[in-house]
Structure 1
Amino acid sequence: MKRTNNFNVMREFVAQIPHGRNRYKDVGCLDFQRVVINIGPVSYIHANYVATPLSPKRFICTQAPLPNTCADFWYMVVQEKSDAIIMLCNFIEQGSKKSAEYVPLSFDTSPMAFGDVTIQFPFNTRVNVDIGRLEVKIKGEQSHHCTHYHWKDWPDRGVPEADLAPIYLLTKVQSTQTPIVVHCSAGIGRTGSIVLIQHAVELINSQAPLTEIRGLLLNLRKQRNNSIQVI
């Protein structure tokens, strides 16, 4: 499906272009369903709530943090009380930077700091997907704990090897009651695919009719513009 942007419904995205808070100029962020940060110094983040049959805010689809938006990312996680973060890209892919280093790259007892935000990695385990349990501290807020899942094997604009990683990921986060934060680099391709899989699984589990995939995709794109480039 062709990538399109109607900037009349992305006014905050356009307003933020001079401030360098958007990773890609051709990946707009809809004003509708946009996450607004109320606890940080900046209210804008390139992120949208996305509904599934189980919840009107089942996911937050977002771009990978930039060096100047790492703190904003964590303000959002703490504000939304998100228990789970799914990362679907690598920090560097084919020689290009795809995400700022917003979490420790390996087990490290030294905290990372972004202004008033401090991130600690109390422990980390490795299975099919790298898992880290994080503690997020923000001045004036209670400490927040969440789990970071990093699936490294999905190539940008490509197809991952057939395995159970997506089902494993979605099974691990299915009990969460708060929005699941999911991102790749732009927050639309790999991110949209995971959301679409979960949407279909929820329909099947509820024995609801599974509509044609294109219809599900069009509904997804009304919430997170340009989700999934290739079907």
Structure 2
Amino acid sequence: MLCNFIEQNAKKCAEYFPMQEGQTLQFEDGVSVTCKRQEPFAFPIETKVRIRVTHLEVNVSGQPPHSCSHYQWIDWPDRGVPEADLAPIALLAKLKENTEPIIVHCSAGIGRTGSIVLIQHAMELLHKNEPLLEVSGYLLELRKQRNNSVQNAKKCAEYFPMQEGQTLQFEDGVSVTCKRQEPTEQQYLYVHQVLLLYLKKAKYLDDVVNPYLEAFTKDYVAATKGF
């Protein structure tokens, strides 16, 4: 779960599980969900990201109890991005320990959800030793299954300026100036920044690309400031 029930005084998600230990919610058709305990997610890295883990027991009439671990990212802003670090990589690595199907959602199910699914897809390709191509291609494939995933995505890096007022000069007298950015575009950049940080940490990148990575990171921080 990549959202909160209420964000900016607007309801974003139905309350489908209890938030207090020992509390039980009753639903139709004899379904009940009980909160057994809650704890913060223990990140193996230093991060400001906050994720709450709720251990649930789901009871359906006539069936044995079912245990479920619910992970809620509680500080990822709607139509924005959290601070880019390896937090999503650590979370996804933990979730991969479970072989059962994983459900991921936010409010609309396209921005935050699309971002984390896109990161996961790229990680799966890396671990299969398959070449990692342009992320934009993977996004198009994702959108075939979930329309509008990672809202308003644009190609990044050297192809367009990432700061308002910034101008890039190209050959034949062509220039491109960033007039403004919509908050949802930051999610596409966030995916790239997280993957680049992981590639550097895992030593997939040669040292020769470090100056370009540092330049991208600097532009990314400026482009996402305030979102």
TM-score, normalised by the number of residues in structure 1: 0.59
Q: Which protein, 1 or 2, shows the higher relative CO under an 8 Å CA cutoff with sep ≥ 6?
A: 1
Counterpart residue number, 1:42 = none
Task: Tell me the amino acid that sits aligned with residue 96 of structure 1.
Answer: A
Contact 1:124–1:131 (8 Å) recurs in 2: yes
Q: How far 1:90 moved relative to its partner?
A: 0.8
Cα distance in 1 for residues equivalent to 2:40 and 2:2 = 15
Cα distance in 1 for residues equivalent to 2:7 and 2:86 = 22
Q: 1:103 aligns with which of 10, 14, 17?
A: 17
Task: Tell me the amino acid that sits aligned with residue 222 of structure 1.
Answer: K
Percent of residue pairs bearing the same amino acid type: 56
Cα distance in 1 for residues equivalent to 2:130 and 2:69 = 31
Contact 2:21–2:38 (8 Å) recurs in 1: no
- 2:27 aligned with 1:114: yes
Contact 1:129–1:165 (8 Å) recurs in 2: no
Cα distance in 2 for residues equivalent to 1:91 and 1:164 = 25
Contact 2:106–2:113 (8 Å) recurs in 1: yes
Cα distance in 2 for residues equivalent to 1:201 and 1:187 = 20
Q: 2:87 aligns with which of 156, 161, 165?
A: 165
Cα distance in 1 for residues equivalent to 2:122 and 2:70 = 23
Task: Tell me the amino acid that sits aligned with residue 17 of structure 2.
Answer: V
- 2:131 aligned with 1:209: yes
Contact 1:120–1:134 (8 Å) recurs in 2: yes
Q: How far 1:160 moved relative to its partner?
A: 0.9
Cα distance in 1 for residues equivalent to 2:85 and 2:10 = 26
SS in 1 for 2:68: strand
**How many residues were matched structurally?**
144
Segments of 5+ residues of structure 2 without an aligned counterpart are 42-49, 152-184, 189-227
Q: 1:150 aligns with which of 72, 80, 91?
A: 72
Contact 1:151–1:165 (8 Å) recurs in 2: no
- 2:38 aligned with 1:124: yes
Q: 1:181 aligns with which of 97, 103, 110?
A: 103
- The CA RMSD over aligned residues, in Å, is 1.3
Cα distance in 1 for residues equivalent to 2:116 and 2:37 = 26
Q: How far 1:137 moved relative to its partner?
A: 0.4
Cα distance in 2 for residues equivalent to 1:186 and 1:203 = 26
Q: How far 1:110 moved relative to its partner?
A: 2.5
Cα distance in 1 for residues equivalent to 2:3 and 2:90 = 17
Moved over 6 A (4+): none
Counterpart residue number, 1:193 = 115
Question: Could you list the per-position Cα deviations for residues 153-210 of structure 1 after superposition, in whole angstroms to 9, with x for gaps in the alignment?
Answer: 1111101123433122201111222221000001111001111001101111111011
Cα distance in 1 for residues equivalent to 2:133 and 2:127 = 14
Counterpart residue number, 1:93 = 7
TM-score, normalised by the number of residues in structure 2: 0.60
Segments of 5+ residues of structure 1 without an aligned counterpart are 1-86
SS in 2 for 1:187: coil
- 2:137 aligned with 1:224: no
SS in 1 for 2:145: coil
Cα distance in 2 for residues equivalent to 1:225 and 1:169 = 25
Cα distance in 1 for residues equivalent to 2:75 and 2:58 = 26
Question: Could you list the per-position Cα deviations for residues 92-133 of structure 1 after superposition, in whole angstroms to 9, with x for gaps in the alignment?
Answer: 11111001111112x321311112210011111123410011
Cα distance in 2 for residues equivalent to 1:156 and 1:143 = 34
Which is helix-richer, 1 or 2?
2
SS in 1 for 2:37: strand
